């Protein structure tokens, strides 16, 4: 039996040998990728290309003017205050969805670099049952490959779901260059972005204490701000955090030496945070391994017991598949933040008769 007859009889496929043209095209693609990443050969430029992957503008949501709904808008700075509306593109059934204003309030914040950010406040519909939660809000920083529309999808766990589960209002925003926020994405802009939104919350809600919550690359922005211990900060939640850019690439999360060309240097900053810090990490996370979360935990001044979510990877740890993540965060908010811990101490003092 010839090899051709054997292939026909047993359904075998002849092994395909790439031709010269296919090899040439493959080499061209590889060279193009190298040129895109490495040119110009400036560490910060390379970092920006590797670290930030914003979804295509308009894929998950769009901004429209209430007065001119047919007008095409490129970024939020083109629309006057209170004249914008956020329309979510439901990826599950390809329809448009609009949240009621009593659920989601849209506002803007301006950074020191004059970038205008799209921000949302996802409101708790009913007052929280726990007294310790009444004065707290969460400022959420998202991963590198998502925008507000991705975290407001009506057919999945979203920021509105988080607010009602955690029993606190949730604030979130799009980084510069993401969604309809103006500017471009880079490390220094991410740090300026979170400061602008934090300050806006302090101005508009002066009676509220803030818990910073970061997910993936969002943890780097949270740690950078929290390390300055700003007024009003009462807790930090880090979900799948990384120690630094080069430590992630080199698979050495606890390397004591920091290279001058490193980026997102959370490992060097986290020890300056004074408030309580909760770390949640999946034990099968292949994007940012659990060892990064544990290396950061070892450097904390004021840690609470971390939460290792068994069976959770980088995507599933916060998408609703693992309820343990949400239960642990809820417990942290109720009992372990600076304000909740203080409330517990006051109630205990009152019970035993102290002033």
The one-character DSSP state at 109 is: E
Of 176, 181, 216, 244, the catalytic one is 216
Please give the tally of structural domains in the chain. 1
Answer whether residue 46 is part of any domain.
no
Residue 76 lies in a domain: yes
CATH of residue 249's domain is 3.40.50.1820
Of 116, 281, 292, 314, which one is the catalytic site residue? 314
CA 1 – CA 313 distance, rounded (Å): 50
34 lies in some domain = no
The confidence score (pLDDT) of residue 50 equals 74
What is the reported pLDDT for 136? 96
User: What's the pLDDT at 21?
Assistant: 55
Catalytic residue status for 307:
no
Note down pLDDT in tens along the chain; length 355 residues.
Answer: 554 554 444 444 445 556 655 555 444 454 443 443 444 554 555 656 677 889 999 999 999 998 888 888 999 999 988 889 999 999 999 999 999 989 999 999 999 999 999 999 999 888 887 888 989 999 999 999 899 999 999 989 999 999 999 999 999 999 999 999 999 999 999 999 999 999 999 999 999 999 999 999 999 999 999 999 999 999 999 999 999 999 999 999 999 999 998 999 999 999 999 999 999 999 999 999 999 999 999 999 999 999 999 999 999 999 989 999 999 999 999 999 988 766 544 433 333 333 3
53 in a domain, yes or no?
no
pLDDT of residue 70: 87
In terms of DSSP H, where are the helices of the chain?
3-10, 20-38, 43-51, 159-166, 187-204, 218-226, 245-250, 266-269, 290-297, 323-335, 338-351
Domain contains 272: yes
**Assigned domain for 1 exists:** no
pLDDT at 28: 46
Give the C-alpha separation, 276 to 306, whole Å: 11
Nearest to 97 by CA among 108, 106, 86: 86
Q: Which of 285, 307, 322, 343 is catalytic?
A: 285
Q: Which of 278, 140, 280 is nearest to 221 (CA)?
A: 140
Is residue 314 flagged as an active site residue?
yes
> Cα separations (Å) of 145 from 124, 135, 329?
26, 31, 23
- C-alpha–C-alpha distance, residues 146 and 185, integer Å: 13
The answer to whether residue 313 is catalytic is no
Q: How does DSSP classify residue 18?
A: P
Run of H or E including 86? strand 84-90
Give the model's pLDDT for residue 18.
Answer: 62
Give Cα 341 distance to the centre of its chain: 26
27 assigned to some structural domain: no
Distance CA 238, CA 219 (A): 6
Task: Give a yes or no: residue 22 inside a domain.
Answer: no
Domain span at residue 128 reads 61-345
Cβ-in-10-Å burial (0-12, 13-18, 19+) of 189 comes to: buried
First-to-final CA distance of the chain: 97
């Amino acid at each position: 039996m010839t090899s051709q007859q054997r292939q026909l009889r047993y359904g075998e496929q002849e092994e395909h040998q790439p031709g010269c043209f296919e090899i040439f095209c493959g080499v061209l693609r590889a060279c193009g990728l190298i040129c895109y990443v490495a040119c110009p050969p400036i560490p910060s430029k390379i970092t920006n290309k590797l670290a930030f992957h914003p979804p295509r503008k308009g894929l998950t949501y769009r901004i429209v003017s209430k007065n001119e709904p047919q007008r095409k808008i490129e970024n939020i700075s083109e629309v006057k205050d209170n004249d914008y509306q956020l329309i979510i593109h439901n990826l599950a059934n390809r329809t448009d969805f609009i949240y009621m204003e009593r659920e989601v309030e849209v506002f803007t914040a301006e950074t020191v670099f004059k970038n205008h950010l799209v921000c949302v406040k996802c409101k708790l519909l009913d007052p929280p049952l726990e007294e310790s939660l009444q004065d707290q809000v969460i400022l959420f920083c998202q991963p590198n490959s998502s925008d507000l529309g991705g975290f407001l999808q009506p057919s999945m766990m979203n920021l509105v779901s988080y607010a009602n589960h955690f029993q606190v209002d949730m604030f979130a925003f799009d980084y510069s260059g993401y969604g309809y926020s103006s500017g471009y994405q880079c490390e220094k802009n991410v740090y300026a972005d979170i400061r602008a939104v934090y300050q806006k919350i302090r101005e508009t809600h002066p009676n509220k204490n803030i818990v910073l919550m970061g997910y993936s690359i969002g943890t780097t922005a949270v740690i950078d701000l929290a390390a300055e211990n700003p007024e009003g900060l009462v807790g930090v939640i880090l979900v799948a955090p990384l120690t630094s850019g080069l430590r992630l690439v080199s698979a050495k999360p606890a390397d004591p030496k920091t290279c001058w060309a490193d980026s997102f240097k959370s490992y060097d900053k986290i020890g300056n945070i004074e408030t309580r810090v909760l770390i949640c990490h999946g034990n099968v996370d292949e994007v940012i391994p659990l060892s990064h979360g544990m290396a950061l935990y070892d450097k904390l001044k004021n840690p609470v017991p971390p939460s290792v979510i068994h069976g959770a990877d980088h995507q599933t740890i916060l998408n609703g598949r693992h309820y343990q993540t949400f239960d642990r965060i809820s417990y942290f908010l109720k009992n372990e933040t600076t304000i909740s811990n203080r409330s517990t101490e006051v109630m205990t003092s009152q019970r035993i008769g102290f002033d």
